[in-house]
């Protein structure tokens, strides 16, 4: 009874937190919109519109109303799914964003798989061998990944692995030759090409994905390695690890069967956060590899001052992080019996 | 002793980076009996216990002899040691709040000992586990089996620990301050359970404690340790005939029910005892 009530209160608290965070986020994007030097009316009517047209649009946009009223109006628009139109394309920005998002999600997902697949084992190895040579090697390896200038490394990698060795595809999501050959269904090229049975396109897409995803994954593995190492070190000193050894388990068994379970939740949280920052747009890598994704979209619109687009991008990044936080909260409840 | 389980001669242990040995020239033998190791905190009791299980990675262990039944603990490979730990020699740790894995059900943690050492399937291991939980007088084994460590009391946790460490039927159990973390009210209960099982199954017991009164009631023989050295070995029933001033000091420092209410004696410590000179 009381357990159920506490849990209910926990859920209500969570919903309130999310609502407040979202509201704050919307205020932020609203303020960004107002503070941008670009004139929203001029953006719509163009440079040579008459004074009347300008006035008319000015009133239509409600810019003469008090700020709080404008905010409420913005709130209403967003809640009904109206994020405004893009100046550049004239289409609703949400449509444009949904169009570029899959490219980034595809890249980020592969990158995080590589990053976690590399970072977690390396972190464990470093912790288990603390202050011995494997720890030092891992530290240097991840320091390098952390501090490499991704723009520069990206270009070098393209020159070496694409131009010189020909092991991977060059820039873009697939070879020029294949563009337009696969009907867009999900927007995820790997899925679409597989659905269409176009295995040549699929292979080309993988070839193009592998290099930028590896670079991104390597750079995000640095953080994952460091955190895994410190989580693991905490556990290795715990008394239950001695118990496990006394029972006759080998060192490796105590690590994977006992310690690892105890850091699982923390790992999920930091991997989710790393994934979030990848989704937010690996701006540099998307630029080097001419990857038509979210990062490029955001940068381009910042440069030309397309307010609606920028506001919506910021909003989406915020929502992604709220979502990931919620996810790690839920997993925490699922994995840690002490929270029940 | 004829059927000695353990034969330790001149055991010395130094932690890496330390300037002094934590354990110095300790010798004793153990049969199917209950041996107490008593001494104040820091005297090296736990270090001896862990050395027997070879769980001192950051220390150098030397001895003239360190035999456990038919094996030489000094040059047994780690692979071989894995078959000794849990199966033939095990250890009950101090505080179940820390010594149990917080995210695994207690039943699974107990069963792991069995699965590690016997070719058994899950169902067999579960049956053995329930049987063992009942043996440590847990009234409702089926229910406790599925609980997490934070859901059980300290006394219950220590009974689970005993179950876990006796499940594979070892020949020697080291109990390192098994009741120090428990409420006074359940200490005797837990000790009686351990004592009953050890006697019934003919298991050799090393009981480590700082509490001389407690040990004299549950052991046949007692080693008194001071600063890494054994200063005196006594039969529990001859305790009052102790000769070493440190032991006498320990005895005098114990409050006795029904004893006089005067201030307890302050423990005397002399540097020359460290060198093992006879008093
Ligand atoms: N891991 C360790 N590293 C260095 N010194 C240690 C370590 N563990 C114990 N010691 C030292 O060894 C001595 C004996 O410790 P311990 O065996 O734990 O004593 P007891 O169990 O009798 O309280 C103490 O001086 C303690 O400081
Ligand atoms: Mg101790």
Cβ atoms of residues B221 and B235 within 8 Å = yes
User: What are the DSSP calls for A37-59, one per residue?
Assistant: SS-HHHHHH-TT--HHHHHHHHH
**Distance separating alpha carbons of residues B171 and B5, to the nearest angstrom:** 8
List, for chain B, all residue ranges whose pLDDT scores fall below the cut of 50.
1, 277-279
Q: Is the minimum distance from the CB of B39 to ligand 1 under 6 angstroms? A: yes
Spell out which chain B residues touch chain A, with contact meaning CB-CB distance below 8 angstroms.
Answer: 53, 55, 78, 82-87, 90-91, 93-95, 98-104, 109, 112-113, 116-117, 148, 150, 161, 164-165, 168
Residue A236 exposure: Cα atoms within 13 Å on the Cβ side: 18
For residue A327, give the nearest of A14, A114, A7, A32 by alpha carbon.
A14
At residue B279, the pLDDT reads 44
**How many CA atoms, within 13 angstroms, populate the side-chain half-sphere of residue B237?**
1
* Ligand 1 neighbourhood includes B145 CB (under 6 angstroms): no
Q: Write out pLDDT tens, residues B220-239.
A: 999 999 999 999 899 988 88
Q: How far apart are CA B73 and CA B71, in angstroms?
A: 6
* CATH tag for A103-290 (out of 1.10.3720.10, 3.40.50.300, 3.30.2000.10, 1.10.443.10): 1.10.3720.10
**What pLDDT is stored for residue B153 in this prediction?**
93
Beta strand ranges found along chain B (DSSP E): 6-15, 23-30, 34-38, 59-62, 65-68, 71-72, 89-92, 172-176, 204-209, 221-226, 229-235
pLDDT of amino acid B259: 54
C-alpha dihedral, A150 to A151 to A152 to A158, nearest 10°: 90
Alpha carbon of A139 to ligand 1 centroid (Å)? 31
DSSP A164: I
Say what the pLDDT of residue A246 is.
Answer: 97
C-beta atoms of B102 and A239 within 8 A: no
Residue A127's pLDDT is 96
Given a cut of 70, the residues of chain A with pLDDT beneath it are 1-3, 36-38, 281, 340
pLDDT at A12: 84
Share of chain B above pLDDT 70, in %: 92
User: What is the rounded CA–CA span in Å between residue A174 and residue A183?
Assistant: 14
Shortest Cα distance, chain B CAs vs residue A330, angstroms: 16
**What is the end-to-end Cα distance of chain A in Å, rounded?**
13
Q: Side by side, which strands form the sheet with B172-176?
A: B89-92, B172-176, B204-209, B34-38, B221-226, B229-235
Closest CA to A263 of A120, A119, A113: A120
What is residue A58's predicted lDDT score, i.e. its pLDDT? 84
CA distance B69 to B32: 11
Mean pLDDT (chain B, rounded): 90
3-state DSSP helix/strand/coil percent for chain A, to nearest 5? 75, 0, 20
**ipTM exceeding the 0.85 mark:** yes
* Predicted model pTM: 0.85
Ligand 1 nearest-atom number relative to CA B39: 22
Hey, which residues does B89 pair with through a beta bridge?
Answer: B85, B172
Chain A: closest CA distance from residue B106 (Å): 12
Q: Report CB contact under 8 Å: B102, A249.
A: no
């Amino acid at each position: 009874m009381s357990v159920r009530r506490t849990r209910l209160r926990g859920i209500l608290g969570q919903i309130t937190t999310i609502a407040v965070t979202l509201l704050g986020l919307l205020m932020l994007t609203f303020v960004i919109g107002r503070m941008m030097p670009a004139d929203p009316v001029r953006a719509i009517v163009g440079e040579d519109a008459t004074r009347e047209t300008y006035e008319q649009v000015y009133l239509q946009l409600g810019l003469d109303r008090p700020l709080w009223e404008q905010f409420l109006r913005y709130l209403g628009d967003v809640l009904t799914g109206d994020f405004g139109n893009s100046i550049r394309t004239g289409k609703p920005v949400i449509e444009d964003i949904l169009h570029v998002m899959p490219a980034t999600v595809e890249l980020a997902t592969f990158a995080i798989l590589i990053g976690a697949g590399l970072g977690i084992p390396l972190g464990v190895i470093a912790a288990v061998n603390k202050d011995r040579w494997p720890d030092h090697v891992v530290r240097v390896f991840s320091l390098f990944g952390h501090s490499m200038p991704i723009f520069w490394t990206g270009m070098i990698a393209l020159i070496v692995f694409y131009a010189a060795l020909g092991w991977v595809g060059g820039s873009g999501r697939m070879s020029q030759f294949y563009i337009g050959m696969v009907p867009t269904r999900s927007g995820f090229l790997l899925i679409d090409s597989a659905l269409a049975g176009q295995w040549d396109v699929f292979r080309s897409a993988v070839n193009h994905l592998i290099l930028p995803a590896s670079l991104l994954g390597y750079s995000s593995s640095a953080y994952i390695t460091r955190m895994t190492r410190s989580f693991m070190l905490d556990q290795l000193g715990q008394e239950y690890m001695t118990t496990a050894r006394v029972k006759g388990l080998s060192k490796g068994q105590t690590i994977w069967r006992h310690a690892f379970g105890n850091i699982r939740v923390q790992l999920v949280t930091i991997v989710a956060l790393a994934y979030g920052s990848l989704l937010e747009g690996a701006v540099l890598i998307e630029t080097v590899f001419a990857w038509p994704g979210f990062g490029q979209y955001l940068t381009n619109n910042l440069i030309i001052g397309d307010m609606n687009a920028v506001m919506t991008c910021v909003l989406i990044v915020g929502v992604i992080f709220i979502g990931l936080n919620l996810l790690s909260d839920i997993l925490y409840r699922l994995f840690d019996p002490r929270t029940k | 002793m004829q059927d000695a389980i353990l034969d330790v001669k001149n055991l010395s242990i130094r932690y890496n980076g330390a300037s002094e040995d934590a354990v110095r020239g300790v010798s004793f033998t153990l049969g199917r009996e209950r041996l107490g190791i008593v001494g104040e905190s820091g005297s090296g009791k736990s270090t001896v216990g862990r050395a027997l299980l070879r769980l001192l990675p950051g220390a150098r262990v030397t001895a003239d002899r360190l035999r456990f039944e038919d094996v030489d603990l000094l040059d047994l490979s780690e692979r071989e040691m894995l078959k000794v730990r849990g199966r033939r020699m095990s250890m009950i740790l101090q505080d179940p709040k820390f010594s149990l894995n917080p995210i695994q059900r207690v039943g699974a943690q107990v069963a792991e000992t069995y699965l590690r050492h016997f070719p058994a399937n899950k169902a067999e291991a579960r049956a053995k586990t329930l049987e063992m939980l009942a043996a440590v007088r847990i009234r409702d084994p089926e229910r406790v089996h599925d609980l997490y460590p934070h859901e059980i009391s300290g006394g219950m946790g220590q009974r689970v620990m005993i179950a876990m460490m006796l499940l594979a039927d070892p020949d020697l159990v080291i109990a390192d301050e098994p009741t120090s973390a428990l409420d006074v009210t359940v200490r005797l209960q837990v000790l009686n359970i351990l004592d009953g099982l050890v006697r019934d199954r003919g298991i050799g017991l090393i009981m480590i404690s700082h509490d001389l009164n407690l040990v004299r009631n549950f052991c046949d023989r007692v080693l008194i340790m001071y600063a890494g050295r054994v200063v005196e070995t006594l039969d529990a029933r001859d305790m009052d005939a102790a000769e070493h001033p440190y032991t006498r000091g320990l005895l005098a420092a114990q409050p006795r029910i029904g004893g006089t209410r005067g201030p307890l004696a302050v423990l005397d410590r002399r540097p020359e005892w460290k060198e093992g000179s006879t008093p």
